[in-house]
């Protein structure tokens, strides 16, 4: 959903690639546009770094969906309708929605009972809506053009996604001695593709946004085969895993809606254009509802465990809290924290070892560390008997977004001095 927000804010397609350095003068058939320009404050100190505003974007060059050069006008923020700006702002608050929803799920789990009762159908439809919104902004010709310009970086990022995270999930579950259900849930989460929220976080972190976008699409399409295959290998020792069923479900709730959305965008551009301003917010709300509903399912069990602990012991409030956090709930929180930390850290480190520049390292780190937890929730509730399998993906929706956003804002204030990561231009 963050991918949809990112692309809508530019009113352009996936083929839009930023060029921080000044390129040669383009042909007359191309039009250069500048998004959300800003004036960098002048500093009297040579070594004082002034962090850019969040909305700052470099100049870009774009092609239309047919691969032909046409005039392209991207209205600045103040020229758009006020209601559209409000929708975009509301959609950007995804981490806040998930956090507030998680608190509501803890205090009043019954608030999500209407959605939980319709599961797993309601969960699958929610994820389908999110992927459909993503497909509405996707033009495969531009996507393929960008892929052909930088195949090594994209393939490396995808390989890192499906090696670092699954290996980390398996190792963490072993070290912490998680129960079979929680181990399967953590491994399933680690085998999911990159989350679409990573695209906005990469923008905040001043990373390589086009690389992040293409990695998200590639890992999402690859999830049809890789997610079931890796889950069966790593989690098959705990419980039986129906790899074929996982693959079919992934195809139905992820790939099919993306392809449908892309088709609708090409076949009915006028109708899609009128719907697109509402798509990001709907996708964000659907994702938040999905994660918090699954979390609320498990809160009842966790609360029962807490009550049992407090009634059967004479421990103080602090000691009771310590006992609870060292139990199942604490194990889930710690395992999810370690999983995403491993993704961020090892993803960045591996990109640095290979020799990528700073902006690409940030993009790969964020893409690897942020998973599509919604897919993990849907697969867990559809193919595993224990509701606890879905708890790690549901907890991830809250923890991952807090960690990712914090990392993004930290990197925003760290100057990426390496300029060799500039994105290549997409030519006819």
Residue pLDDT tens, the chain, 428 long: 444 444 444 443 333 444 444 455 555 444 444 434 444 444 444 444 455 444 444 443 444 444 444 443 445 555 678 888 888 788 778 778 888 888 888 888 889 889 988 888 888 888 888 888 878 877 777 778 878 888 899 999 999 999 999 999 999 999 999 999 999 999 999 999 988 778 778 877 888 888 888 898 899 889 999 999 999 999 988 888 888 888 998 888 888 888 898 889 888 888 888 888 888 888 888 888 888 887 787 776 666 655 554 545 555 555 555 555 566 778 888 999 999 999 999 999 999 999 999 999 999 999 999 998 888 988 988 888 888 898 899 888 888 888 988 898 899 888 887 544 444 443 33
Rounded CA separation 175/339 (Å):
12
Residue 190: the pLDDT is: 95
26 part of a folded domain: no
Tell me whether residue 57 is in a domain.
Answer: no
Q: Which CATH number characterizes residue 145's domain?
A: 1.20.1530.20
Exposed, middle or buried, 162 (CB in 10 Å: 0-12/13-18/19+)?
Answer: buried
277 within a domain of the structure (yes/no):
yes
In DSSP terms, 32 is beta-bridged to 61
Helical spans, DSSP H, in 243-372:
243-250, 256-267, 269-275, 279-311, 317-325, 328-354, 358-369
- Classify burial at 373, counting beta carbons within 10 Å of its beta carbon; exposed 0-12, middle 13-18, buried 19 or more: buried
Which among 44, 298, 346 is positioned nearest to 165, based on CA atoms?
Answer: 346
pLDDT at 315: 53
Would you tell me how many other CB atoms lie within 10 Å of the CB of residue 247? 18
Q: What is the C-alpha to C-alpha distance for residues 86 and 83, in angstroms, rounded to an integer?
A: 5
Is residue 60 in some structural domain?
no
Give a yes or no: residue 427 inside a domain. no
Are the C-beta atoms of residues 309 and 330 closer than 8 Å to each other?
Answer: no
Question: Is 428 a domain residue?
Answer: no
Give the count of domains, the chain.
1
Please, are residues 150 and 422 in contact by the beta-carbon 8 Å criterion? no
| 366 domain residue, yes or no | yes
CA 289 to CA 283: how far, in whole Å?
A: 10
CB distance 200 to 6 below 8 Å:
yes
pLDDT for position 8: 44
Please report the pLDDT score of residue 72 as a whole number.
38
Taking alpha carbons only, the member of 270, 307, 12 closest to residue 138 is 12
Could you tell me the residue range of the domain that residue 377 belongs to? 2-20+80-412
| Backbone torsion region of residue 410, taken as left when φ is above 0, otherwise alpha when ψ lies between -120 and 50, otherwise beta | alpha
Structural domain includes residue 274: yes
pLDDT score at 325: 57
Looking at residue 13, its pLDDT comes to 38
């Amino acid at each position: 959903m963050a991918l949809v927000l990112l692309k809508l804010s530019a009113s352009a397609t996936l083929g839009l690639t930023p060029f921080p350095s000044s390129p040669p003068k383009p042909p007359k058939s191309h039009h250069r546009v500048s998004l959300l320009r800003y004036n960098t404050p002048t500093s009297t100190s040579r070594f004082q770094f002034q962090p850019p505003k969040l909305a700052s974007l470099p100049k870009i060059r774009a092609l239309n969906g047919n691969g032909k050069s046409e005039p392209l006008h991207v209205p600045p923020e103040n020229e758009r309708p006020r209601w559209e700006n409000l929708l975009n702002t509301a959609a950007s608050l995804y981490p806040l929605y998930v956090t507030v929803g998680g608190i509501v799920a803890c205090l009043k789990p019954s608030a999500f009972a209407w959605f939980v009762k319709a599961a797993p159908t309601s969960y699958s439809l929610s994820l389908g809506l999110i992927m459909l919104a993503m497909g509405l902004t996707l033009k495969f010709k531009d996507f393929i053009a960008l892929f052909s310009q930088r195949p090594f970086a994209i393939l490396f990022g995808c390989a890192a996604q499906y090696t670092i995270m699954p290996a980390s999930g398996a190792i963490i579950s072993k070290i912490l001695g998680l129960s079979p259900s929680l181990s399967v849930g953590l491994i399933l989460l680690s085998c999911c593709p990159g989350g679409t929220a990573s695209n906005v976080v990469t923008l905040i972190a001043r990373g390589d946004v086009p690389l992040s976008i293409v990695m998200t699409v590639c890992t999402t399409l690859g999830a049809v085969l890789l997610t079931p295959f890796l889950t069966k290998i790593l989690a098959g020792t705990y419980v039986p895993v129906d790899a074929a069923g996982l693959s079919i479900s992934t195809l139905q709730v992820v790939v099919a809606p993306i392809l449908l959305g892309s088709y609708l965008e090409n076949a009915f551009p006028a109708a899609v254009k009128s719907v697109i301003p509402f798509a990001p917010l709907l996708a964000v709300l659907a994702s938040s509802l999905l994660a918090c509903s699954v979390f609320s399912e498990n809160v009842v069990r966790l609360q029962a465990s807490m009550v049992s602990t407090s009634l059967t012991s004479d421990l103080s409030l602090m000691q009771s809290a310590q006992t609870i956090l060292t139990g199942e709930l604490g194990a889930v929180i710690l395992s999810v924290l370690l999983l995403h930390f491993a993704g961020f850290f090892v993803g960045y480190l591996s990109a640095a070892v290979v020799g990528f520049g700073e902006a690409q390292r940030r993009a790969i780190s964020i893409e690897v560390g942020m998973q599509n937890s919604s897919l993990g929730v849907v697969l867990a509730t559809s193919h595993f008997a224990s509701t606890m399998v879905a708890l790690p993906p549901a907890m991830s929706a809250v923890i991952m977004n807090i960690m990712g956003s914090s990392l993004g804002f930290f990197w925003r204030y760290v100057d990426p001095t390496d300029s060799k990561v500039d994105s290549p231009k997409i030519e006819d």
